[in-house]
Amino acid sequence: MTVTYVESPTPSFLFDLDGTLIDSVYQHVIAWRAALSDIGIDLSVWRIHRRIGMSGGLFVSALLRETGRSLSKADIDQLQQAHATQYRAQMDSVTPLPGSRELLGFLTGAGVPWAIATSGYAATARPALGLLGLPEETPMVTRDLVRHAKPDPDLFLAAAALLEIEPRHAFVVGDSVWDLLAARRAGALGVGLMSGGYGREELERAGAYRVYADPAEMLARIDELGVRADELGVRRSLEVLGDGAFTRE
Amino acid sequence: MTVTYVESPTPSFLFDLDGTLIDSVYQHVIAWRAALSDIGIDLSVWRIHRRIGMSGGLFVSALLRETGRSLSKADIDQLQQAHATQYRAQMDSVTPLPGSRELLGFLTGAGVPWAIATSGYAATARPALGLLGLPEETPMVTRDLVRHAKPDPDLFLAAAALLEIEPRHAFVVGDSVWDLLAARRAGALGVGLMSGGYGREELERAGAYRVYADPAEMLARIDELGVRADELGVRRSLEVLGDGAFTRE
């Protein structure tokens, strides 16, 4: 007896940026803390950390709800400006996460489509391309390009559209529960990375299909995600890795 | 029929400091990151966060094991000095966590013994007493006073000795898995606070009897820990709270 069925294609990957590809979450946390403190809002730092990765608007609304304060549209704009300024002041200490260049290089070499989808604005997010050794034309969706940010699915839906793939054939890779919730609303599976400072259990409970420490561990276990080393020109990409083109400097 | 049994006494409380009573974990993380980077060790920030609260020596050993490097005793001393300098530079942004003054004031008013037991050295830790509005003679055990820090039980055993109580009649209150592991080795029950940035599930899995958001929530649910409002002069302490003596400024 033979069974005929439609095989699922090799998945594509939609990556969050902060805490997933670059080690920038704690700098964002400290920048938000300083920006909020400037306008007299003193919030515990862990509460800010737990909101990082949400859309800036939802982030501020959620924090205000916790403090019982309200801010005008102008105040919120000023807050986001102050955060951007504070973050830029610390950007020198931001580095790629272990394995992120290698992972992206591996996928490129294997012909697996991937894109970046971040809640950050282009002004703060685009410099990360240089940090990751990626060309300017890397498929990337920033906050400016969509109506709602995470946990709404817009960023990942737009990134999938950019790659001309269906979200249900993509893995969303992110470090926060907001990425994983947005993944589910986009109809994609989520992969959690612990490199943004969330615990494994939080990510699992938000629906992660798998949780890894960081991009390096995800690359080492990429076969668990349906990318096979014996197909798709992966041998070629391993050769590329071998010549140092994608290894860390 | 009557049953005779030995009632357990009202528990005492042994508090961790950073991330438990004061909001200083992220400043410590950033300070360690800068100190390590100065000597050429680039570690992902979340890995440093997950080690905070361990003894400085174990902390450095664990991080070195992850990087495969080794350091001389002199290098480690220099690293701890650099951390202390970097931390002091950010100490202005450290504040008490919500409810910590009120919680300690409540316990004092109720006649419940409590002490502070921290992996930090006296030089970095003692300024926190002023921040919390506590007198210099507050029972406090710092790293300098014991042989091993957390997750060894020494700090909590010493704090219990200072209060002349048995550890099995004390709750250890801390924000990290290291506090909760040290609590178990000391034979005490552990209470986890999420205010250091660890997730609820991590703390529960490390053996927490209860997990609260921060000192404010712990105070609101203090009856769950065997401190009763109708005994022990708690009514008196509520009056004290009422007159503003222990409320946040």
Give the CATH number, domain containing residue B48: 1.10.150.240
Number of alpha carbons in the 13 Å side-chain half-sphere of residue B95: 16
Q: Which range of residues forms the domain containing residue A75?
A: 25-93
Same domain membership, residue A47 and residue A101: no
Shortest distance between the Cα of B230 and any Cα of chain A, in A, equals 31
Cβ contacts of B30 on chain A, cutoff 8 Å: 26, 30
Cite the DSSP H helix spans in chain A.
25-38, 45-51, 56-67, 73-90, 100-109, 122-125, 127-131, 154-163, 177-186, 200-205, 215-220, 234-242
Task: Determine contact, residues B211/B204, Cβ cutoff 8 Å.
Answer: yes
At B242, which helix (H) or strand (E)?
helix B234-242
Torsion of CA B55, B61, B66, B70, to 10 degrees: 150
Strand order in the sheet with B170-174: B140-141, B114-117, B12-15, B170-174, B189-193, B210-212
Torsion of CA B17, A197, A123, A98, to 10 degrees: 120
Same domain membership, residue A135 and residue A211: yes
- For residue B205, the chain A residue with the least C-alpha distance is A201
Note if the bond before A151 is cis, omega within 30 degrees. yes
Best A42, A46, A87 residue to mutate vs chain B (most B CBs within 10 Å): A46
Choosing from B75, B93, B111, the residue where a domain stops is B93
Same domain membership, residue A228 and residue A172: yes
Same domain membership, residue B134 and residue B82: no
Is B18 annotated as catalytic? yes
- Both tokens assigned to B168: 């099995």
Cβ contacts of A49 on chain B, cutoff 8 Å: 26, 197
**What is residue A168's three-state secondary structure?**
helix
Domain-embedded: residue B5: no
Same domain membership, residue B32 and residue B19: no
Tens of pLDDT, residues B69-91? 788 888 888 888 999 999 999 89
Choosing from A50, A68, A93, the residue where a domain stops is A93
At A120, which helix (H) or strand (E)?
none
How big is chain B, counted in residues? 249
β-strand partners of B174: B192
Q: Pick A202's closest partner by Cβ from B29, B195, B199.
A: B199
Tens of pLDDT, residues A180-227? 999 999 999 999 999 999 999 999 999 999 999 999 999 999 999 999
Report the complex ipTM. Answer: 0.78
Same domain membership, residue A100 and residue A76: no
Cβ contacts of B199 on chain A, cutoff 8 Å: 198-199, 201-202
Number of domains in chain B: 2
Confidence of residue A116 (pLDDT cuts 50, 70, 90): very high
Round to whole Å and give the CA distance between B151 and A28: 30
Determine the pLDDT at residue B244: 36
Domain-embedded: residue B7: no
Task: For chain B, list residues with pLDDT below 50.
Answer: 233-249
Task: Determine contact, residues B211/B92, Cβ cutoff 8 Å.
Answer: no
Domain-embedded: residue A174: yes
Choosing from A93, A108, A127, the residue where a domain stops is A93
Same domain membership, residue A152 and residue A65: no
Same domain membership, residue B109 and residue B147: yes
A46 with B30: Cβ contact below 8 A: no
Domain-embedded: residue B79: yes
Domain-embedded: residue B44: yes
Task: Determine contact, residues A180/A160, Cβ cutoff 8 Å.
Answer: no
Determine the pLDDT at residue B80: 87
Q: Which of B111, B119, B145 is nearest to B15 (CA)?
A: B119
Q: Pick A44's closest partner by Cβ from B97, B201, B205.
A: B97
- Give the mean model confidence (pLDDT) for residues A104-109: 96
B interface toward A at CB cutoff 8 Å?
19, 23, 25-26, 29-30, 33-34, 37, 42, 44-46, 49, 93, 95, 97-98, 194-202, 205, 214
Same domain membership, residue B185 and residue B166: yes
Domain-embedded: residue B246: no
Domain-embedded: residue B32: yes
Domain-embedded: residue B248: no
Cβ contacts of B26 on chain A, cutoff 8 Å: 26, 29-30, 33, 45-46, 49
CA angle A37, A40, A44 (to 5 degrees): 50
Provide the mean pLDDT of chain A.
Answer: 88
Shortest distance between the Cα of A198 and any Cα of chain B, in A, equals 7
Rounded to 5 degrees, what are φ and ψ at B171? Answer: -100, 130
Determine the pLDDT at residue B26: 93
Same domain membership, residue B29 and residue B19: no
B58 exposed, middle or buried (CB, 10 Å; 0-12, 13-18, 19+)? middle
Cβ contacts of A201 on chain B, cutoff 8 Å: 199, 201-202, 205
Whole-model pTM? 0.83
Could you give the C-alpha distances from B190 to B173, B175, B180, in angstroms and in order?
6, 10, 5
Give B234 or A79, the one with higher predicted confidence.
A79
Residue B172 is classified by DSSP as: E
A interface toward B at CB cutoff 8 Å?
19, 23, 25-26, 29-30, 33-34, 37, 42, 44-46, 49, 93, 95, 97-98, 194-202, 205, 214
Is A16 annotated as catalytic? yes
Same domain membership, residue A236 and residue A150: yes
Q: Pick B29's closest partner by Cβ from A26, A198, A205.
A: A26
- For residue B197, the chain A residue with the least C-alpha distance is A46
Task: Supply the CATH number for residue A132's domain.
Answer: 3.40.50.1000
Best A18, A25, A26 residue to mutate vs chain B (most B CBs within 10 Å): A26
Round to whole Å and give the CA distance between B143 and B139: 14
In this predicted structure, the answer to whether residue A60 has a pLDDT above a threshold of 50 is yes
Same domain membership, residue B165 and residue B78: no
β-strand partners of B177: none
Cite the DSSP H helix spans in B39-166.
45-51, 56-67, 73-90, 100-109, 122-125, 127-131, 154-163
Determine the pLDDT at residue A230: 59
